[in-house]
Amino acid sequence: MYAVVRGADRPAMDAVGIDDAPLRLLVHGAVAAVVADVAVDRPPGRRADLMAYSRVVDDLLAGGVVVPVQFGSLMPDEASVVEDFLAPNEGHFTELLDQLEGRSQFTVRATYVTDTVLREVVATDPAVAELRARTKGQPEEAVYGDLVRLGELVAQEMEAKRDVDAETVCDAVAPLTVAVNVTAGSGLEAVVDLTCLVDDDRRADFEDRLEDLAEILHERIHLSLVGPVAPYDFVEGAPWG
């Protein structure tokens, strides 16, 4: 199964899904499921399968509101899709479709310009600067303890910076979204990932805000944007969750 759409929309089923299987539409009342056959001896799980699934769901979005079904969801036959999936959940799917109408998902990824931020850490923390100078050019085994301490201090400083910078990005983006899911970054590069549900009529403002923010932060932080795609992360309470 790929997605749930409005039964009245009846999107054209001229595309193919995983393993080039033809898509078809199973309707029950106000909702319909987009499905295709799949080989039972090899359940979907390859990267190519995920890409085919995403292509189908995102193409459906171009024709109207869509509720993505979790990748890899299988039912034994058409009757099961209608009787066990659509019928008992028709009301919930209708509510989800209403909530997601005219909205799309975007992902904002913020990553550090690592050299710039590490220079900030060295410049603002005397202990880091001292340890860096002490260990520079020395054999690792001779300064191992200092290197461990240096790594710990840098990690602490980066975490503090990340908290502040992630909040800056979130505060700039959130007012132009319906909802935001936040995934904290880790390591030296990742600052934060934001999965955003955006009204289509605010998309231009949302993208303009990101462009302005990217210009302000470009020396320290790189911003990338993926979307619009179907609202994969905003189907709360779905029966496969």
Domains in the chain and their CATH numbers?
3-101 (no CATH), 104-229 (3.30.70)
- Nearest CA among 93, 87, 75 for reference residue 36: 75
CA distance 220 to 164: 13
Q: What's the chain's length in residues?
A: 241
Q: Tell me if 198 sits within 8 A of 206, measured CB to CB.
A: yes
pLDDT of residue 193: 97
91: left (phi over 0), alpha (psi -120 to 50) or beta: alpha
pLDDT tens digit sequence for 142-195: 777 877 887 788 888 888 889 999 999 999 999 999 999 999 988 889 999 999
Return the percentage of the chain with pLDDT > 90, whole number: 61
CA distance 118 to 108: 23
Rounded mean pLDDT of the chain? 89
Q: What is the mean pLDDT of residues 45-61?
A: 91
- Return the H-helix or E-strand segment holding 134: helix 126-135
pLDDT of residue 238: 59
pLDDT of residue 149: 84
Q: Which two tokens stand for residue 23?
A: 């898509």
